[in-house]
Amino acid sequence: MNKNKLIILAGPSGVGKGTVENILFADEKLKNILKLSCSATTRKARQNETDGIHYYFISEEDFLKKIENNEFIEWNKHFNNYYGTLYSEIKKINKEGYLPLLEIETVGALNIMKYYNDKNKKNAVISIFLAPPSLDELKTRIKNRGTENQDEIDIRIRKAEEEIAEMDKFIHKIVNDTPEKAAQKIKEIILKEIEEKDE
């Protein structure tokens, strides 16, 4: 089984990435294979989020120092906060014998794909874009979670339109009609990909 790969799961805010991930990590076959990569961010923790599990919550000053020291495989600023994937996190997961799953924003995902392409390791990345059934459905999902005001919802919808426009740059496109169906499709993709040898 080839675990020398990493999985990118991208998609607009509110599409249901977290719910799909919960199903994947509860799966008997996948829970011994996958490990969620913990990104660093300067945003404040939401209710029920734990430092070191959901994100590494760090100050903007610390984040900028890490950029200066080239500690990120990718980083980005969106919704007025910095987000990034640390090289050390990927190495740690690989060392533990797991396949890293990165839930990241689309620009960051494209940067990682470019990084591996530049190193002629295109096959190391399993890129998956999780799309909503429609923009109207996405608006409803964001409103229903009740964590953003109307201005923030409008910003997220505009951002979602930009991200959906980049969808074809990903190897796999999954529409999240229901989290269970989407998770099953992603599970099939992961198991098929890790059975394949590197070229």
The domain segmentation of the chain, as residue ranges, is: 6-195
Q: Write the class of the CATH domain 6-195.
A: alpha beta
Round to whole Å and give the CA distance between 193 and 199: 12
Which residues have C-beta within 8 Å of that of residue 53, sequence separation ≥ 6?
38
**Between 94 and 129, whose confidence is greater?**
129
What's the rounded mean pLDDT across residues 23-39? 93
Q: Which amino acid is at 172?
A: H
Tens of pLDDT, residues 36-71: 999 999 999 988 889 998 899 999 999 999 999 999
User: Do residues 74 and 84 touch, judged by C-beta distance below 8 A?
Assistant: yes
Q: How far is CA 193 from CA 3, 101, 188, 196, in A?
A: 9, 13, 9, 5
pLDDT at 13: 85
Tens of pLDDT, residues 111-165: 899 888 888 787 889 999 999 999 888 888 888 877 778 888 888 888 899 999 9
pLDDT at 163: 93
Q: Report which listed range, 1-15, 54-68, 103-117, is most confident.
A: 54-68
Is 84 annotated among the ligand-binding residues?
no
pLDDT at 140: 85
pLDDT at 162: 92
Is 11 annotated among the ligand-binding residues?
yes
pLDDT at 1: 56
Is 175 annotated among the ligand-binding residues?
no
Number of other residues whose CB lies within 10 A of the CB of residue 163: 20
Q: How far is CA 54 from CA 34, 45, 47, 127, 163, in A?
A: 15, 9, 11, 20, 22
Asked whether the predicted pLDDT for residue 85 surpasses 90, the reply is: yes
Round to whole Å and give the CA distance between 148 and 176: 21
pLDDT at 72: 95
Round to whole Å and give the CA distance between 145 and 59: 26
Asked whether the predicted pLDDT for residue 107 surpasses 60, the reply is: yes
pLDDT at 199: 46
Q: How far is CA 192 from CA 3, 9, 153, in A?
A: 12, 16, 37
Is 17 annotated among the ligand-binding residues?
yes
Round to whole Å and give the CA distance between 9 and 190: 11
Is 146 annotated among the ligand-binding residues?
no
**Between 21 and 198, whose confidence is greater?**
21
Asked whether the predicted pLDDT for residue 197 surpasses 70, the reply is: no
Is 18 annotated among the ligand-binding residues?
yes
Nearest CA to 77 out of 47, 108, 123 is that of: 108
Nearest CA to 190 out of 93, 101, 89, 96 is that of: 101
